[in-house]
Structure 1
Amino acid sequence: MTTRSVDERPKSGGGGGAAARPMLAADRGGFVERHGLWSDEQYAAAAQLRRVMDEQGIELVRLSFCDQHGVLRGKTLTRDALAAALRNGCTAPSSLLLKDTSGKSVFPVFTPGAGLGIDGLAFAGDVVLVPDPSTFRVLPWAPRTGWLLCDLRFPGGDPVPVSTRDICGRVLGGLAGLGYAAKIGVELEFHVFHADGAATTGGGQLLHEEELDSVDEVVQLLQDALTGLDLPLRSIELEFGPNQLEVTLAPLTGLAAADAVVLCRSAIRQVCRRHGYHATFMSRPLGAASASAGWHLHQSLVDVGSGVNAFTPEEPGKPLSDTGRHYLGGLLRHAAAAAAFATPTVNGYKRYQPYSLAPDRIVWGADNKGAMVRAVGGHGDPATRLENRSGEPAANPYLYLASQLAAGLDGIGSAAEPGPPTTTPYDGEAQRLPASLAAALDALDADPLFADAFGREVIDWYVTLKRSEWQRYLNEVSEWEQREYFGFL
């Protein structure tokens, strides 16, 4: 029989409501309270998670943070250890924030400032993982296991400048200061193979019901896992390419949307692996030449005071309001630089192919799925929105979302004009999207907007990490080179 947590309080004792404090008086004064890191709502959520743990018999809780690459890292704590972690967080090496996708430390860790001028990242010292109780989930696929997403702080309580969830939170805070909230919808494509690499679907027939039925085991597994996590799953669809599926999530507000993507991707990969499949969010794996995977990010702004969609035009015949039009102008103006966040891998740029349902130019269209940004809705439609189709499914959701909002807000502030919509998204003289990760990083480094919005040290950190990834790619002898030259020359 599971006993109650020693520092849990029943609702009758103040364990519920907006002012809940799920600790005994003797346990006060921990890191979280000392630095004022939780709201009343988070304290109430912490009280609720204790009750859920008691009711569900949860014995292990994973404390995770999203790293620079959009990958979850963290520790699994026992039930008994969680109470202390909720008061004081738990520590992890700061060097995790200084590694590229291979796990190589890119920066001189054992020097003052770690080569970035950020003292807290030097010498592989610790950062503190501070759980966000509002993100608590019980994992349907892992017995007696819960999950908490964490924010990062230095041991002195200061935010870690390169914590991507915090970066997104800061941009969202600026948005709130203007009276807006971001409403975000997600279409996330991915590939599922058998664990031995064998194909799961033949491909070539978009939305073919019988082909989807052939992978019904995967569909059922994902439905159970994602709805079991209380994610707003709307559909699981068969895409055009071999082994390619898509999940769509109902719109969420702000940080909750990015959190949902982090958990959704992790759930899909873990559940598939446990049942003999391999799910990958790599955009263009071998065999996917006809249909790379993308991440279509739907976005609009809601007026906080009225709850009205700020993108819905008042005049018939217009696709967007003035606010929406200027936001779109900002997305286009900064698209080349923002590509480094929307498509952060070497592989993702091989998706930008003409006539592929992926964009290759910086254009927008009215309900045009070949354009980089698709305007959907119009007069009288409260769901009017912009859909950026340039992202890859492996993108860090916090950086992807933050880059879109920063660009859009700049467009609103400067009354940027997007120009007329395209009717020929793959033709004409429109500026092309960056052809490579290197080109996108050059554009990011040169665009002052993101240094202003995120901090110059953040851009230097990110560009350095990704240039290391690019250089390792250039140094690798590829199968193409072997085939092209080995026998011929």
Structure 2
Amino acid sequence: MQVTEIKDYIQDNGIDSIRVDFSDIHGVNRGKIVPAYRFEEIVEEGITCAQAVSAVMLNNDIAPGSGVADEISYGDMKIVPDITTFSTVPYLDKTIRFIGDPVVDDQPWPFSPRNQLKHILAKYAQLNLRPIVASELEFYVFKTNGAGTCDFYCDKPSNVYTMSPRVDPQNIMHKLQQILSEMGYDILYYNHEFFQGQYEFNWKHSDALKMADQTFTFKNVCKELAHLENLLITFMGRPRNDAGGSGFHMHFSMNDADGKNIFDDPSGNMGMAETMRHFIGGIMEHAKASTAFLAPTVNSYKRFQLDSFAPYYIGWGLDNRTVYLRVPSERGPATRVEVRAGCASANPYLAISAVLAAGLEGINNAIDPGEPFEGDMYRESPDRFETMPLSLFRSLRELEGDTDFCDAMGKKIVQNFMAMKEAEIELYRSWVSDWEFEHYSYHL
């Protein structure tokens, strides 16, 4: 929609409030609501926020060394609405919403995850390439019991690939489907996943930026609707010991200027074009360094277990769910690669950026991924394949040591991210858990 069309929509529908949202480094939805009569003003000038919002940790501390707080005297930035992201907010009365881009001194703010993704996409555009992405997100729904703890929304096992009132008593998934459809999502399907109270949504592939916007929005809509329904939806990597992990699987293909999927090549090895092989090669080359962005919390690493359908060893294979990167069997327009390392808690802008940055390194340097693995990779050993970094601390060290990947991801983003995550690790390191007391207190 154009500005004039949006003005007409505001007038015709009695809109009185406009949300301007943006993603912080965690992927948390930040922003402000402004009166609708200020629409033209905010399109031109944006809204004002402190840059230090990207140094705010989830316990409300300000992380030291982020580059956006005391280093710049806690200065401001403008969040300028991207009018192409216009949508209604069906569960809020008379409200529309935009995703905004942070700007400082009339330049894209280099600490913005969305700006960084746009920067990487511009590099692909120089090669006349247009990345196409599809998200698959798993999450848990919990009932809040008023005692400070949560119970499974559906507490019975063996409900995978089902969808009925027995696994969705409050019809929350159907409500999500309706809301998302009204917001312009092309929903493919949703279902109960493997573990109790775990669900998955899939929607149709799209341009990388649009898919990142939709994934960011999806997570926020889930959180807000659950709150209105007295439920809790969480995208934690593994929320409980008696539950498995939640993944953020990302499917990547590549279109040329004419909209043709150039990963497909019927005459190529395994029906794959060399560009696709090199894209895979880059992802494999930088798999360890990119893990910090794909699995960004201390909790994310509880998901990397043997026999968990999350990667444990780093390898790629054909239609194989035990590997880091899977190439589904479809060819033609559906030729694609699936990165299975993503944790549902990942910031979609940073996760998609990380894969595309690594893939672009592979394309530019013609990195050969080697032969695909066949069999059950969980039965392999570290003597043959490298393991995933199995803690956030190790992932940060891998990121720090891969200077080419850091340059590709943007030094400001890496600085901000590293500062936030080092502070998170220190909080975790100094916290006494229930396990420690139960394990040690009696005998020691």
Are the equivalent residues in 2 in contact too, given 1:231–1:264 (CA < 8 A)? no
Cα shift at 1:267: 0.7
Measure, in 2, the Cα distance between the counterparts of 1:216 and 1:312: 43
2:162 to 196, 201, 208: 208
In the TM superposition, what are the counterparts of 1:21-32 in structure 2 within 5 Å?
none
Measure, in 2, the Cα distance between the counterparts of 1:445 and 1:430: 22
2:122 is aligned with 1:169 = no
* Structure 1: gaps (5+ residues): 1-43, 109-114
* SS of alignment partner, residue 414 of structure 2: helix
Measure, in 1, the Cα distance between the counterparts of 2:56 and 2:387: 30
1:456 aligns with 411
In the TM superposition, what are the counterparts of 1:312-323 in structure 2 within 5 Å?
312-315=264-267, 318-323=270-275
Cα shift at 1:254: 2.0
* Distance verdict in 2 for CA 1:90–1:214, change over 3 Å: closer
Are the equivalent residues in 2 in contact too, given 1:317–1:378 (CA < 8 A)? no
2:79 aligns with 129
2:171 is aligned with 1:217 = yes
Cα shift at 1:47: 2.1
* SS of alignment partner, residue 369 of structure 2: coil
Cα shift at 1:146: 1.1
2:188 is aligned with 1:234 = yes
* Structure 2: gaps (5+ residues): none
2:144 aligns with 195
Measure, in 1, the Cα distance between the counterparts of 2:223 and 2:363: 38
Cα shift at 1:255: 0.6
One-letter amino acid matched to 1:296: H
* Distance verdict in 2 for CA 1:142–1:179, change over 3 Å: same
1:139 aligns with 89
Cα shift at 1:79: 1.3
2:317 aligns with 365
Measure, in 2, the Cα distance between the counterparts of 1:271 and 1:94: 28
Measure, in 1, the Cα distance between the counterparts of 2:343 and 2:406: 23
One-letter amino acid matched to 1:374: R
Measure, in 2, the Cα distance between the counterparts of 1:216 and 1:317: 49
Cα shift at 1:314: 2.4
In the TM superposition, what are the counterparts of 1:22-421 in structure 2 within 5 Å?
45-107=2-64, 116=67, 122-154=72-104, 156-196=105-145, 197-201=150-154, 202-210=156-164, 213-215=167-169, 217-289=171-243, 291-304=244-257, 306-315=258-267, 318-377=270-329, 379=331, 381-421=332-372
Measure, in 2, the Cα distance between the counterparts of 1:98 and 1:216: 37
Measure, in 1, the Cα distance between the counterparts of 2:370 and 2:94: 55
Larger Rg: 1
Farther off after superposition, 270-279 or 46-55: 46-55
One-letter amino acid matched to 2:89: L
**In angstroms, what is the RMSD of aligned CA positions?**
1.8
Measure, in 2, the Cα distance between the counterparts of 1:101 and 1:391: 20
Are the equivalent residues in 2 in contact too, given 1:64–1:150 (CA < 8 A)? yes
Q: Deviations over 1:292-334 (max 9, x none)?
A: 1001000011111x32111112227615211111110111110
Are the equivalent residues in 1 in contact too, given 2:54–2:416 (CA < 8 A)? no
* Distance verdict in 2 for CA 1:235–1:487, change over 3 Å: same
What is the TM-score of this pair, normalised by structure 2?
A: 0.94
* Distance verdict in 2 for CA 1:413–1:212, change over 3 Å: farther
* Distance verdict in 2 for CA 1:317–1:324, change over 3 Å: closer
Are the equivalent residues in 1 in contact too, given 2:80–2:101 (CA < 8 A)? yes
Q: Deviations over 1:54-112 (max 9, x none)?
A: 2221111111110000011111111123331112111011111122232211126xxxx
Are the equivalent residues in 2 in contact too, given 1:188–1:294 (CA < 8 A)? yes
